[in-house]
Amino acid sequence: MIGDLITGYGFWNPLIWIIVMATGLLFAWLIWRCGESGYDKGTEQTKPYLSGNDEPPKSDVHIRGGNMYWGFTHALKGYYDKLIPLHSGVVNDYLTWFVIGVIVIFVVVMVI
């Protein structure tokens, strides 16, 4: 079939996927169009819902990039506590880790 991508084990056809998605988007948009579109702009109802509290400054409530994966990093705290100090910012350290990594991969591939 035209456009087939075959990896050796897996396969897919992005062109067909695009056609399916386009049809799905059109179908979903038609349902969306059937719905009520109006609302009272510029009134209380457009304020973010915060259980009746005033909205704090955005800088206080927005999640920053560094906290994006909080929950994951906190659950694996033991791992990250060991990993983060290894990121010293010194190129020599990174090269050493790279060489160690290559040796480990070499041993795994060649010996095992």
Partner 1 sequence: MNIILSAIGGTIVLAIIGIAVGLFLSGIDRRIVARMQARIGPPLRQPFTDVKKLLTKQSIVPANAIPWLFNLMPIAALASSIAVLMYLPFGSLAPILGEAGDMILVLYLLIVPSLALVIGGFASGSPYATVGAQREMVSMIAYELPLAISVVIIAWRLMAANVADPFSFMTLMETSVWDVAGPLGIVGLLLLLFLFMWITPGELSKVPFDSPEAETELAGGILAEYSGRNLGLFSLAQAVKMVGIIAFGVIILLPWNLSPVFGMTGAGAAVIDLVFFFVKVIVVSILSVTVVRTMMARLRITQVVKVYWFVFGGIGIAAIILLMLDAFLMGGV
The nearer residue to partner 1, 40 or 84, going by C-beta atoms, is 40
Q: Could you tell me which of 54, 30, 58 has the C-alpha nearest to residue 44?
A: 54
Of 54, 59, 66, 72, the one binding partner 1 (CB under 8 A) is 72
Output the smallest distance, CB 51 to partner 1, in A: 6
Strands (E), 1-112: 5-6, 11-12
Per rule CB under 8 A, count of chain residues that contact partner 1: 50
Q: Which residues fall within 8 angstroms of residue 86, CB to CB, at 6 or more apart?
A: 93, 97
Distance CA(76)–CA(71), nearest Å, equals 8
Of 54, 74, 108, 110, the one binding partner 1 (CB under 8 A) is 74
Bridge partners of residue 11, in order along the sequence: 6
Which spans of this chain sit near partner 1 (rule: CB under 8 A)? 1, 4, 9-13, 16-17, 19-21, 23-25, 27-29, 31-32, 34-40, 42, 45-51, 55-56, 58, 61-63, 67-72, 74-76
